[in-house]
Amino acid sequence: MLIEHDTKIQLCEFSQRLGLMTPQKKHESDKARKVEQIIAFLEVIHSQVRKYSKKRELVFVDSGAGNCYLSFMVYYYYTYVVQRPVRIHCIDINEALMNKNRNLAERLGFERMHFHTADIEQYTHCGPIDVAYSLHACDVATDKAMFLGLKNNAKHILSVSCCQHSVKNKMQSYENTKGLTKHSVIKDRLLYVVLDSMRALLLEMQSYDVDVIEFVSSRATDKNLMVRAHKKQLVESEAIYSQYRRLRNAYNLRPYLEGRLVQLGLVASFDQVPEQLPVK
C-alpha cells in the first residue's frame, strides 16, 4: 500500500471540495465508490513515478478527462502531500466541462493544471510525457488516449476502458465459440476483455512492457481492468503478432488503435500481410 491510511483520509476530505463526497445520502455510496477508484488509480500512477528525481517536474496527460476528478486528486497529492512539482494537461471535447474545471482550478490555486477543449487526436503536446492516462474514456476515446501516449513516447500509459459501442455489433465468433456471444451480458464482458487484450498487444508491438491488472476491487466498479504499460526497448516478437492476429480473426475485431498505427506505418496492415512479421 503506497498511500497510507491517513493520507487517504486527507484525499477523501479534499474530494468533498470537488463535490465528490457530500453529506447527502442519496448518492453517497456511488460517490464513495468513485473516490475509491480514483485513489486506487492514483496509487498505480505513484507506483510508476515515485522513484523519479524530485528535482524535475512530472508531466501527466489526462485524456477524456470529463470532470477531471482524477487529475484534481493527482495534482493535490503531488503538490501538497508528496510536495513535488507536477503539470497536468486535461483533454476533453466538452467545452462546458473544461471551462468549469478551469474555473475550479483557478479557485483552488492549481496553476499547473491546463484544460484543452479538443478531440484527443487533435491535441498537440509539446515536450515529454511521464504518464498518459485515461479513466473510463468512452468507446474509441480509450484508443485515442493510448495513441496520444504512443506518438508522444510517454514513459507510461495507463488506461481503464469503458463502453465499446462502435465495435459491439461487429463482434463475431466461429461456430465452436458462439456460446460465448449468445447472451448479451456475457458478450459485453467478453468484448471488454478481448479488446483490452488486443490493445495490450498493440502496445507491446511499440516496445512497451505491458500487463493488465485489477486496479481496484470489483465492488467499486465492474470495469476495473487497467492496461498498464511502461516504455522499454524490447525485442520484437513474432509471437505477439501471431497472438494479435488470432484474436483479431477469432472475433472479427479491429480496435481503433490498430487503424491509427497502420495509417502511420508503425505496423503493417494485418489484412495485407497476414502471415509475416509487420515491419515498423
pLDDT in tens, 263-276: 999 988 888 644 44
Q: What is the pLDDT of residue 23?
A: 52
Contact 102, 115 (CB under 8 A): yes
User: Could you tell me the domains of the chain?
Assistant: 5-263 (3.40.50.150)
User: What span, in angstroms and rounded, lies between the C-alpha atoms of 83 and 91?
Assistant: 25
Q: In degrees rounded to 5, what are phi and psi of residue 167? A: -115, -5
Q: What is the pLDDT of residue 61?
A: 98
User: What span, in angstroms and rounded, lies between the C-alpha atoms of 181 and 195?
Assistant: 14
Q: What is the pLDDT of residue 24?
A: 53
Q: What is the pLDDT of residue 56?
A: 93
Contact 60, 129 (CB under 8 A): yes
Q: Range with the lowest mean pLDDT among 20-24, 47-51, 139-143, 156-160? A: 20-24
Average pLDDT over residues 122-128: 95
Q: What is the pLDDT of residue 182?
A: 77
Q: Range with the lowest mean pLDDT among 17-26, 178-187, 224-233? A: 17-26
Residue type, 106: E
Q: What is the pLDDT of residue 213?
A: 95
Specify the DSSP class assigned to residue 177: G
Element (H, E) at 212: strand 208-214
Kindly tell me if the per-residue pLDDT of 127 is higher than 90. yes
Q: What is the pLDDT of residue 31?
A: 80
Contact 134, 66 (CB under 8 A): no
What cell numbers appear for 151 in the block?
Answer: 506518438
Regarding predicted confidence, which is higher, 252 or 91? 91
Average pLDDT over residues 213-233: 91
Location of C-alpha cell 501516449: 149
Q: What is the pLDDT of residue 276?
A: 41
Number of residues in the chain: 280
Tell me which residue of 164, 146, 161, 130 sits closest to 261, measured CA to CA.
Answer: 146
Q: What is the pLDDT of residue 33?
A: 87
Average pLDDT over residues 213-222: 88
Q: What is the pLDDT of residue 22?
A: 58
Q: What is the pLDDT of residue 186?
A: 84
Kindly tell me if the per-residue pLDDT of 73 is higher than 90. yes
User: What span, in angstroms and rounded, lies between the C-alpha atoms of 18 and 69?
Assistant: 7
Please give the mean pLDDT across all residues of the chain.
89
Contact 231, 156 (CB under 8 A): yes
Location of C-alpha cell 476491487: 217
Element (H, E) at 37: helix 28-49
Q: What is the pLDDT of residue 278?
A: 39
Contact 203, 255 (CB under 8 A): no
Contact 101, 68 (CB under 8 A): yes
Kindly tell me if the per-residue pLDDT of 172 is higher than 50. yes
Q: How many CA atoms lie within 13 A of 32 on its CB side?
A: 9
Kindly tell me if the per-residue pLDDT of 279 is higher than 60. no
User: What span, in angstroms and rounded, lies between the C-alpha atoms of 32 and 58?
Assistant: 28
Residue type, 93: I
- The whole-model pTM stands at 0.91
Contact 211, 222 (CB under 8 A): no
Specify the DSSP class assigned to residue 83: -
Kindly tell me if the per-residue pLDDT of 254 is higher than 50. yes
Kindly tell me if the per-residue pLDDT of 277 is higher than 50. no
How does residue 28 score in pLDDT terms, banded at 50, 70 and 90? Answer: low
